[in-house]
Amino acid sequence: MRLIKLILFFLLPLGATAVPASGTQVRVNGRVATFESVLGYCGGDTARAVSICDPLPVESPYLSKARINVERFYNAFNPAWICAIAAVACLLLPCSRLILILLLLLLSGEFALRWWLGEGIPLVGVTDVASGISIALGATAVCRPHLRRFACPAIIILMCCVALWGSHPAVRAVNPTLQSAWLPVHVCLMVGAYSLFLVSTIVAAVRVPRRGVFRSLIAGEVFLAAGIAIGSLWAAEAWGSYWSWDPKETAALVTFLVYLALIVLWSKMRPGFLRAAVICAFVAVVFTWIGVSGGLHSY
């Protein structure tokens, strides 16, 4: 027993030196970050974090102290949780336009923080799009305060998803195809369309949809059509074909046709059936955004 303790006494310091300290700068997925961020990216799996890290020379300060402090703040608090709590406060407490503006600033700050840490616009993954939709909903609440009770619940759900599912932007790998000028245009158009469809669905779930919902659906359909068109131009540049019947492309086209049918038949449906149609149509958006995977859009 004493022999085992003696062996452990000499081996433990060696094991401790094998794991970098939290402030140590390493390279992973072609990016420089602190080991603490890589550990969070790996879900606390120290062995995996060590295995994917490339150590950098200690005498070469690649990251500034400000960048390291921001990474530590991101790891400790995760700004998405802060935004979700702020949205809860806006929903439950008496809310003015100024408070809604503060919520929008928090959402924009969370987005800007992910942008800075990831060294690129965060519009790549599902959680990035959720963050963008939250900003669009926050802007809607600021412009139309009476829609706060519709927008805030969606913001709460989306930001909780961002906090739970989002991987650390400083170490997340980015596919070279996504490093294109088409990315922000295409994704922002799709985010605008999904945001308008989401607000319309929430309104329809609470009351009978009126003229405002109809206009939102038309605007969302225009954004979606433009997003599909821009996406086809990007596809021709990246994949050599404007349309490849990729699962994501096909699902987006189906969503466009579903909402087109809803708009055409709007005046012919009774109020109760109209509410159900608006709510059910959003299933196509969820299927396109989250349910469809694989194919050329597998990044």
Residue 250, both tokens:
């096909």
**110-132: average pLDDT:** 85
**Predicted confidence band at 14 (pLDDT cuts at 50, 70, 90)?**
very low
What pTM does this model have? 0.75
How are beta strands 54-55 and 25-28 bridged, if at all? antiparallel
- The answer to whether residue 175 scores a pLDDT higher than 60 is yes
pLDDT band, residue 298 (cuts 50/70/90): low
Among 50-59, 114-123, 201-210, 218-227, name the one with the lowest average pLDDT.
50-59
132-168: per-residue pLDDT in tens?
889 988 998 898 888 788 888 889 999 998 988 877 8
Domains with residue ranges and CATH for the chain: 17-61 (no CATH), 78-168 (no CATH), 178-299 (1.20.120)
